[in-house]
Amino acid sequence: MDTHSFKIYSSTAQLPDTWDKVAQENIFLQTHYLKVLEDSAPTNMECFYIGIFEKAELIGVALAQYLNLNKLESFGERDQCLKTSVRNFVFKNFASHVLFLGNNMITGQNGYEFTKAIDYKNIGDLLLECADALTKYFKDQKVKIHIVSFKDFYRHCADELKKHQFSNIYEFNTQPNMIFELQKQWQTNDDYIAAFSKKYRDQYKRSQKKAEGISIKELSLEQIIEQEERIYELYHHVAKNAPFNTFFLSKNHFSTFKKQCGDRFKLIGYFLNEKLVGFHTLLLNGNVLETYFLGYDNQVQKEKMLYLNMLYNMTKFGIENQFEKIIFGRTALEIKSSIGAGPIMMSGFIYHTNKWVNKFMPKIFPKLEPTLVWQQRHPFKEN
């Protein structure tokens, strides 16, 4: 550990020149994306950028986010029940100041990147030391961090971290990340549709028929700015009806994203009678296609099977542009599995800074997480 050190930055302007070289494998740690967070982060979020050094050389980069849940208008309005009310009370009073090591806005292992091999004991040590340093920083600002969470590790990484200091931290699994591994033999969208069993080919045809009258086009930066209010209205409708929220995007988030990332960020608009009724976004991350936030008019979505058509269109884009896989993220697991995505379990680690509360974390946490029962669909013909 004596050869490794870290430095925490609060602005992208302070980052070392070699930052993007170290982060080249992951767009979510590159300065273009970090500037999106800096210029249009949710109002209740503050971001920190962590440089990890071996002697004087930058060999790793990481992201941390502080969330103040007291500033949140709603934790999610879909599930109105006693469990939700209890959860909201607990979050407001015992867990409103949350520190994430990782990115709370997306699903996937996007919290850190290294250019050199570094063992998991050192990674664990560095993550814990960064958390301590940031907790102290906030204490000096008279803000008490309640909860520290280390977010989104694939199974192998979680198991390796647990062999060291993370063995003492409560590990949690929430909804899986829905990932679609695209088959090499699918050269066109027709190849993909042909692989469906009859039931799911019929579903595809039905959704296409329902979507008649909808026109689809990619929006330029100027068009995104022009439609900013409407885009936000559609996004906000979907976001507030999610089972649980820790943030809401700022209104200028999508135009800022387009401005910073150019062609690597796509916002696709769905129009009915020339009015924007839905949109989805994509981020091109090397050979991986990342799905990002979306929004829709609920009435149109029901009538036109809009959400399902968006999923098919994202898949079509992935196949035609020869991506290896599509990250569909959490939520709507069943419908995502019906187009071919499969669940990949991810782990996080969490502790409460109050030792007494932390002791009961294994009992408390499962009671706060909305329970989910779903059936995985298998849409392809058996070979």
pLDDT tens-place string over residues 128-186: 999 999 999 999 999 999 999 999 999 999 999 999 999 999 999 878 999 999 999 99
Residue type (1 letter), 295: G
Report the relative pairing of strands 97-101 and 147-154 from DSSP bridges: parallel
In the predicted structure, residue 79 carries a pLDDT above the cut 80: no
The answer to whether 296 touches 285, Cβ cutoff 8 Å, is: no
Band of residue 246 on the pLDDT scale cut at 50, 70, 90: confident
Q: How far is CA 241 from CA 71, 78, 296, 300, 380, in A?
A: 18, 5, 12, 16, 31
Q: What value does the mean pLDDT take over residues 307-329?
A: 98
Q: For 4-168, CATH number?
A: 3.40.630
Confidence band, pLDDT 50/70/90 cuts, at residue 13: very high
pLDDT of residue 350: 96
Matching CATH number, 178-344, of 3.20.20.100, 3.40.50.1370, 3.90.79.10, 3.40.630.30: 3.40.630.30
Residue 331 sits at the vertex; the CA angle it makes with 325 and 337, to the nearest 5 degrees, is 50
DSSP-derived secondary structure for 216-231: EEEPPHHHHHHTHHHH
CA 202 centroid distance within chain: 31
Integer CA distances (angstroms), 222 to 142, 228, 234, 262, in order: 42, 10, 18, 12
Do the first three CATH levels of 4-168 and 178-344 match, i.e. the same topology? yes
Give the mean pLDDT of 97-119. Answer: 94
Which residue(s) pair with 329 in the sheet? 178
Please determine, for residue 125, whether its predicted confidence score (pLDDT) is greater than 90: yes
Phi, psi of 136 (to 5 degrees): -65, -40
Q: Do 286 and 108 touch, CB atoms closer than 8 A?
A: no
Retrieve residue 274's tokens: 């020339």
Nearest residue to 257 (alpha-carbon basis) of 60, 114, 153, 105 = 105
Q: Model confidence at 75, in pLDDT bands (50, 70, 90)?
A: very low
Of residues 366 and 16, the one with the higher pLDDT is 16
Average pLDDT over residues 198-223: 98
Q: What is the pLDDT of residue 70?
A: 85
- Look-up: residue for tokens 């019929």? 202
Tell me: pLDDT of 226 over 50: yes
Per-residue pLDDT at 217 exceeds 90: yes
Query: Span 30-44, mean pLDDT?
Result: 95
Burial of 2 (0-12, 13-18, 19+ CB in 10 A): exposed
Stretch 327-347: mean pLDDT, rounded? 95
Is the pLDDT at 97 greater than 90? The verdict is: yes
Query: 244 pLDDT band (50/70/90 cuts)?
Result: low
Please determine, for residue 61, whether its predicted confidence score (pLDDT) is greater than 60.
Answer: yes
Confidence (pLDDT) at 81: 52
For helices 31-40 and 253-261, the axis angle rounded to 10 degrees is 160
Split at pLDDT 50, 70, 90, the class of 88 is low
Q: What is the pLDDT, as a whole number, of residue 228?
A: 97
Contacts of 262 (CB under 8 A, 6+ apart): none
Would you state the pLDDT for residue 364?
A: 82
Per-residue model confidence (pLDDT) at position 372: 77
Residue the block writes with tokens 């929220």: 245
78: pLDDT confidence band, cut at 50, 70 and 90? very low
pTM of the model: 0.91
Beta strands 177-181; 342-344: pairing state? antiparallel
Give me the residue spans of the domains in the chain: 4-168, 178-344
> Taking 70 as the threshold, does the pLDDT of residue 77 lie above it?
no
Answer yes or no: is pLDDT of 325 > 50.
yes
Q: How many residues does the chain have?
A: 383
Query: What pLDDT sits at residue 187?
Result: 96
Work out the number of other CB atoms within 10 angstroms of the CB of residue 214: 17
Question: Mean pLDDT for the chain?
Answer: 92
CB neighbours (10 Å) of residue 153? 22
Look up residue 306 and give its two tokens: 């809009």
Specify the pLDDT at position 2: 62
